[in-house]
Structure 1
Amino acid sequence: MKISLTIVFLFFVYYAGSAQDVQYTDAKALTLYGRSAVSGPHFHRVDTARYNDMPKHVKVLATYPAGLAIAFKTDSKEIYGRWRIKHGRSYKNMTMIASRGLDLYIKRDGQWVFAGAGVPGDTVTTHKIVGNMADGKKECLLFLPTYDELLELAVGVEKGSYVRPLTIEWKGKIVIYGSSITQGASASRPGMAYPAQLSRRLGYEIVNLGFSGSGKMEESVGRMVADAGADLFILDCAANPSPQEILDRTENFVKQIRVKHPGVPILMIESVVREGGNFDQKIQKRVWDQNNNFRRMHAKLVQEGMEKLYLINGDDLLGHDHEGTVDGTHPNDLGFDRMLQVIEPKVRAILTGNYPTE
């Protein structure tokens, strides 16, 4: 069955594309950024066969290409996407473009500028992402779905145009481990998730290790995170573990990273204050306890002498007008922008060695 589906897809790509005067290139021939390692299936964030002792749900979510992006250059005036996903699910708190669509940025005057979205259909989609562009070379960055497994992807351009791999000269690499918010819920498009935005703003390749509801700092996951080389590790995972799990697991998780990367800074970010807790006292207390315990563990590690360990308080991450979420938990685009207003300057300061003494 899998073989026949692949054949159908490839036939659909190369023959249907030809009828439209569009030529397609398999995205595997282009440049892929954002993976934690080079092994494993091409569009998976993590090689789950290598880390087969991780929790089952973490391994499933690791197959989703949240934060991954295809880089290419072309002289075409039109760009198409044709892709096949595994599930085709819809989520009540997310757009279909964010969960299973594509998001294209093109460089203009040195900045990555939104160019168009690949709007998904069912499990197989062909969509013109952008058209009627001016002549000349375009440098492109195509963000992949955040909440579905991507099985096949081809980039289409006008016949006679070229499409080639693009090498981006990143300043370095950042690994972000966390929750559904890290993974991208509930941005309107894949490129609006805060790790993707941070990557474009800083010029750093970012590995998104957000695992929806499952960023709970298990030791097996800590080994995987620690194996990823980085110039900065960000732990945005306080939202998922229980308050007691935070007390039980944080120290070991941080030390797993520190042992493998003695001089690399680690930034701990408290959970956003859940807007669902504006009136619900149970939610309010849980988040307060999570953040309080995360803060306590940070203080403990610093007092014990761990250097380059930083903390961002969660109180201001979404602003204070209670308009920053979709569902009381997951940020909308406004919420993600507000998170970046807090996170970005502190990350810049850490990366340049100018983080102020607290």
Structure 2
Amino acid sequence: MNTPWTDVLTLGLRGRGWPTEARDRPFDRLPAADTALLEPDLARLTRQAAGLYVDFVTAADTITARWRIDDAFAGSDSPYTTPLAFAGLELYGMTADGSWRWAGCLGPNGPAGGEGALSRARLDGVERRYRLYLPLRSRVLSCEISASRDGDSAAIHAVQAGPPSPHETRERPVCYYGTSIVHGVGVDRPGMAHASQLDRALHREVINLGVAGRARCETEIADALGRLDPALFVFDVLPNNSADEVRSRVPAFVKRIRNHHPETPILLLGDREFGDFVFCPERSSTKIAKDAALVEVSEALRRDNCSHLFLSLHENWFGRDAEGTVDASHPNSLGAHRFASVLAELIRPLMQTHKS
């Protein structure tokens, strides 16, 4: 039988800030008014659906999706991004103990999107909560899902209409601004970007504002962030800024945020260590210089009465064995998992201390 399709927008799109502000397309990450202020390439990047997902409840044994994009996966500007991560979908399911487990994925059937079952085998038909991640590097035009059980149509409910979960917090999200590392370049599936892994680890929504090749503390981005109301800001900008640029750009960016959010905690992250630092010692010198600049900036901001400002430097976010990177600079899925695990341990006490 033909099962009905459900537009995922009717289920509540998550991982996206500014829910009441108009967008050029509903799956764009920034509101239209902000996108219009950006130079074209940066605007294009913010239209990619990194970090966006939808949660729903069903007792189906088969979940099917169809979606359309306006970016061909063959046009990826990174040789390390798989077609699945660039333009595909990924499904997770919540277990009885509240943990998220991988349940399936589906890559694009062609340059305009795809259609098919999200799981290679029949699901068990137990009613549970599922999470569907959208493509990391494509602009999504539409996305629909359908569900069936034993060949008959199965109901799909928005999470608020399904059984309540004791594991998820309904509190304010984490806003995560950064470079291509945050955007998800290097991981093999949409849900493996470390910001998405952090979302699942914390059971708290994370707004992914990673922009590949950017995160240069743009004034327009700071003004947009100022209209959010997150529990925590995480800024990971060092990979795309020199030590001198850290000194010149980060203070103004943080102060601009502080004009809107005088008390919201801000976590500044130090640079990653390149995977080939053992053989290329200048890599470590670059990291040391950038981290030192960030320490100077954070100390100066605190002297300037910028409170609730936190700094974390790490020997290597992706692990010291170089197995966690795809190209020395970007984490693969293993490196992203390591990064998310470290961040979760950093962020949990901040949330408790500030009761966000």
Shared fold per TM-score greater than 0.5: yes
Question: For the residues of structure 2 that align with 1:352 and 1:100, how far apart are their CA atoms?
Answer: 37
CA deviations over 1:112-136 (Å, ceiling 9, x no partner): 2111012222123112112422233
Matched with 1:328 is 328
Matched with 1:308 is 308
Are residue 70 (structure 1) and residue 70 (structure 2) matched?
Answer: no
Deviation at 1:28, TM superposition (A): 1.9
Change (3 A) 1:69 1:275: same
Q: Is the 8 A contact 1:225 1:257 kept in 2?
A: yes
Matched with 1:13 is none
Please list every run of 5 or more consecutive structure 2 residues that lacks an aligned counterpart in the other structure.
161-167
Question: For the residues of structure 1 that align with 2:124 and 2:337, how far apart are their CA atoms?
Answer: 30
Are residue 47 (structure 1) and residue 31 (structure 2) matched?
Answer: yes
Matched with 1:127 is 116
Matched with 1:150 is 140
Matched with 2:257 is 257
CA deviations over 1:44-81 (Å, ceiling 9, x no partner): 11114334222332211111110010111122210011
Q: What amino acid sits opposite 1:164 in the alignment?
A: H
CA deviations over 1:11-46 (Å, ceiling 9, x no partner): xxxxxxx6xx44321222221101121231211111
Are residue 140 (structure 1) and residue 130 (structure 2) matched?
Answer: yes
Identity of paired residues, percent?
27
Question: For the residues of structure 2 that align with 1:352 and 1:76, how far apart are their CA atoms?
Answer: 37
Matched with 1:96 is 83
TM-score with structure 2 length normalisation? 0.89
Matched with 1:29 is 10
Q: How many residues align?
A: 336
Matched with 1:113 is 101
Q: Is the 8 A contact 2:186 2:332 kept in 1?
A: yes
Q: CA RMSD in A?
A: 1.9
Matched with 1:58 is 42
Q: Is the 8 A contact 1:81 1:127 kept in 2?
A: yes
Are residue 199 (structure 1) and residue 199 (structure 2) matched?
Answer: yes
Question: For the residues of structure 2 that align with 1:94 and 1:304, how far apart are their CA atoms?
Answer: 41
Q: The residue matched to 1:187 in structure 2 has which SS?
A: coil
Q: What amino acid sits opposite 1:134 in the alignment?
A: D
Q: The residue matched to 1:245 in structure 2 has which SS?
A: helix
Q: What amino acid sits opposite 1:343 in the alignment?
A: L
Question: For the residues of structure 2 that align with 1:136 and 1:271, how far apart are their CA atoms?
Answer: 44
Question: For the residues of structure 2 that align with 1:256 and 1:277, how far apart are their CA atoms?
Answer: 35
Q: The residue matched to 2:153 in structure 1 has which SS?
A: coil
CA deviations over 1:273-316 (Å, ceiling 9, x no partner): 12244434554443333222122211211233322111110323
Question: For the residues of structure 2 that align with 1:224 and 1:61, how far apart are their CA atoms?
Answer: 15
Change (3 A) 1:43 1:243: same
Question: For the residues of structure 1 that align with 2:219 and 2:258, how far apart are their CA atoms?
Answer: 14
Q: Is the 8 A contact 2:172 2:229 kept in 1?
A: no
Q: Is the 8 A contact 1:232 1:267 kept in 2?
A: yes
TM-score with structure 1 length normalisation? 0.88
Matched with 1:178 is 178
Change (3 A) 1:276 1:54: farther
Q: What amino acid sits opposite 2:247 in the alignment?
A: L
